[in-house]
Amino acid sequence: METPILRMAGEPEDSNELYIKREDLLPFSMGGNKVRIGEAFFDDMKQKGCDCMVIYGSRHSNLCRVLSALCKSRGVPCVMICSHEDGEEQEITNNTLLVDWTGTEIVHCRKQEIAAAVEEVMNRQKARGMAPYYIFGNKYGTGNEGTAAGAYAEAYKEIREYERRRGFSFDYIFLPSGTGATQSGLICGKLLMGGEASIMGVMISSREYGRAREVVREGVASYFEKTGKSLPEDYQKEIHLLDQYRQGGYGRYDVRIEACVREVYCRDGVALDPVYTAKAFWGMKEYLKEKQVEGKKVLFLHTGGGPLFYDYLTKREKASL
């Protein structure tokens, strides 16, 4: 389903035209980019002849929420491996509550023990006679980069069609960059379908910059390999990653991002969450200011995360009591 692209009110001092693509309105499990990506993983699982899903993410994971709901609605068993950072507070999130509703088993592990946890769960499911599918490939989480990227290579078409209808080109597309799959996909789309926009991933996690770039590159290369298309030699010039707005890493934010959440809701009635979308939106605004970008058409990809918005709303309220 196509999601709308809408003009944002912006601040009075903005000289740029801001637009937002509302992936948060995808009509399944609270929406978000992970709906498209989850569907792509699901199709890939079936193509590979597997009958059981093994998923991985943190307690904030939107992907795990969507995949657990997809599996439940289609009668496919699902196990989630949920990693925790050392010293992270163990508060329950809306996303893990929803994963729990679907009957998905949650296996907890420390951030350093993911590979071992994946291996154990895969072996256990095999011993039960199932053919498990780990969404990220091998136990180290590599080998399946092209699948998730494919979803946004497709979605990029909608942006191109919007540009054609409106008779203009975006100069920039900003989005939160976490796993890198959505960004890889958009880059694939641009390489295949053309377009003027620079695709700008705003890093929201603590992933090391060089590694993050490499993951986006792998996603692009892997999608082209998978689909048998020929990859332009200079494709790496399309990878733009901003690492200066992550405020200490994944899940961390300060009052500037909190103000952004509230301001965007009050100006445009759009809910952003501080872990992903508000951090990226704030980073985008800072970038445009710092680089003195003016008079441009700028698209922000709202990648969803409604449950995290409400985690924040409720937590903030508790804190102020």
Q: Between β-strands 17-22 and 5-7, what pairing exists: parallel, antiparallel or unpaired?
A: antiparallel
Total residues in contact with its own copies, by rule CB under 8 A: 37
Least Å distance, CB 26 to its own copies, is: 9
Q: What does DSSP assign to residue 229? A: P
Least Å distance, CB 166 to its own copies, is: 16
* CB-nearer residue toward its own copies: 21 or 246: 21
Alpha helix locations (H) across the chain?
Answer: 33-47, 62-73, 94-101, 114-127, 145-166, 181-193, 209-227, 255-268, 277-290, 306-320
* CB-nearer residue toward its own copies: 20 or 175: 20
Least Å distance, CB 308 to its own copies, is: 11
Question: Is there a catalytic annotation at residue 61?
Answer: yes
> Which stretch in 165-173, 178-186, 196-204, 258-266 sits in contact with its own copies by CB under 8 A?
258-266
* Residues 229, 11: Cα–Cα separation, whole Å: 42
> Which stretch in 78-86, 135-143, 145-153, 264-272 sits in contact with its own copies by CB under 8 A?
264-272
Identity of residue 152: Y
262-299 in b/e burial notation, b at 16+ Cβ within 10 A?
ebbeeebebbbbbbbbbbbbbbbbbbbeeeeeeeebbb
Residue whose C-alpha is closest to residue 107's, from 62, 152, 54: 54
Least Å distance, CB 39 to its own copies, is: 11
Residues 6+ positions from 276 with CB-CB distance below 8 Å = 62, 176, 178, 204, 303, 305, 308
Per-residue contact flags (x/-) with its own copies for residues 94 to 133, judged by CB under 8 A? x--xx--xxx------------------------------
C-alpha neighbours within 13 Å on the C-beta side of residue 205 = 14
Of 16, 39, 72, 139, which one interacts with its own copies (CB under 8 A)? Answer: 72
The two tokens of residue 38 are 């989850």
Least Å distance, CB 255 to its own copies, is: 15
* CB-nearer residue toward its own copies: 39 or 113: 39
Place of tokens 């952003």: 272
Contact between 189 and its own copies (CB under 8 A)? no
Least Å distance, CB 294 to its own copies, is: 24
Angle made by CA atoms 100, 77, 311, in degrees to the nearest 5: 25
* CB-nearer residue toward its own copies: 22 or 296: 22
The residue annotated as part of the active site, out of 61, 177, 184, 205, is: 61
Touching its own copies, residues 17-36 (CB under 8 A) = 22, 25, 27-31
Catalytic residue positions? 61
Contact residues toward its own copies (CB under 8 A) are: 1, 4, 6, 9, 22, 25, 27-31, 66, 69-70, 72-73, 92, 94, 97-98, 101-103, 262, 265-271, 306-307, 310, 313-314, 317
